[in-house]
Structure formats: C-alpha cells, structure tokens
Amino acid sequence: GENVEQHPSTLSVQEGDSAVIKCTYSDSASNYFPWYKQELGKGPQLIIDIRSNVGEKKDQRIAVTLNKTAKHFSLHITETQPEDSAVYFCAALQTSYDKVIFGPGTSLSVIP
Amino acid sequence: NAGVTQTPKFQVLKTGQSMTLQCAQDMNHEYMSWYRQDPGMGLRLIHYSVGAGITDQGEVPNGYNVSRSTTEDFPLRLLSAAPSQTSVYFCASSSPRTVNYGYTFGSGTRLTVV
C-alpha cells in the first residue's frame, strides 16, 4: 500500500521568510497530491493540490512542485505571515480509488 | 450548506462501553472516510466508503465498525472502548465529480476512554 513520508516534523521561520515542506510517496500509481492546513482545534482544510501530469502549481503565496520520477512533492510558502502557523499535511491518492493516505504532518511556526 | 457535521464534539467513555460517532454530509458526496489523529501520528485511515452499501478497511480498522446505508450518513461504531482509542476522530467526504478530489473534513470528535 501507499506510504507517505513528510519532513520536517517541525519548522520555525521568521515572518517574511519562506517555508518548504517535503514529502515522498511509495506507490507509483498515485496521481493526485493534495496539501491540507490544520489550525488548532479544527479539521484539516485543503489549500492546494497537484495532479501527476503537472510539475508545478501556484496560488498566490503558496506553490507545490512534483517530481514523479523521484516520487517527491513539496509545498513552498513565500512571505510567511503569523496566520500561516498551523500543521500542514501532504497526502497521496489514486483518484480512481480514493483511498487517501496522509503524511505525519509538519508543525509550522511563523515568528513575528 | 453545512458541509460535514460530526457529533458529538467531545465524549468520555469508560473502558468496555460502546458508542457511535455520527457523521453526516449534505454535499451528495460519494466518498466518505473516518480518520483518527494522534500526536505525532498524523491522520490514519480507519474505514472508508465509496458509496452507499460499500465499505472497506483502512490502516487501523480494529475495534471499529462502519456502515453506509445512505449517501449522507457514515457512522463509526466503537464496539468495546479501550484507552488506546483515545484520540480525535475526523470524518471526511469527497466526490469524483468535483474539480479536485480534496476531502472536506468535519470539525472532529475528541474521545477520551478512561
């Protein structure tokens, strides 16, 4: 079955700096890679996603890159703000099967 | 739309008791899943369903039962609660008909077994 690893487990950055979170997956059949943000006391919320036929996707200050050959994908947050502080989860799934496997999460702290 | 609604938000059980965590969605989503979240373990899949009448096991199914008699509801049953089932439980739904396959999550149920 699919296994998703995520690094680092914790990340502290100064406000305005960039943050990068990296994930690897094991199942080459996975073709959809969403990222979720979880604020304290709330359920995870989808923030960006990428499909296997795309190498990079941007949405304002966040971007995701995918290297299918290496089975790596990464989340990039630029110009970080205190409200970016949260736990971020990557995930991988086969859209035809829809069994979503999450990485263990990264706790991001943005220091004002 | 209410999205995904989970009840109760908090629950304390004694070891050996049984209970049902409720999950309902009003988006007509085909797919629904239950996850548990423990510190340092991320979100682990318990059971999932791709449609009414169809369920399957996830990564950590032992001690839990599910059923999907309607599209809207996907209850999770704890048969005989154990302290190891102390966790935060999330229900989620999605649909292949949406532009992305991203799950919509409920706000969670915090369960403590004493």
A23 Cα to chain B: minimum distance (Å): 13
B42 Cα to chain A: minimum distance (Å): 4
Residues of A whose CB is below 8 A from B31: 98
Per-residue pLDDT tens digits for B8-19? 999 999 999 999
Backbone angles phi, psi at B84, to 5 degrees: -65, -10
Please determine, for residue B101, whether its predicted confidence score (pLDDT) is greater than 70.
no
pLDDT, mean of residues A92-107: 82
Per-residue pLDDT tens digits for B41-92? 789 999 999 999 999 999 899 999 999 999 999 999 999 999 999 999 999 9
pLDDT of residue B1: 62
Give, as one character, the DSSP assignment of residue A12: E
Distance CA B58, CA A101 (A): 9
* Residue contact B96–A95, C-beta within 8 A: yes
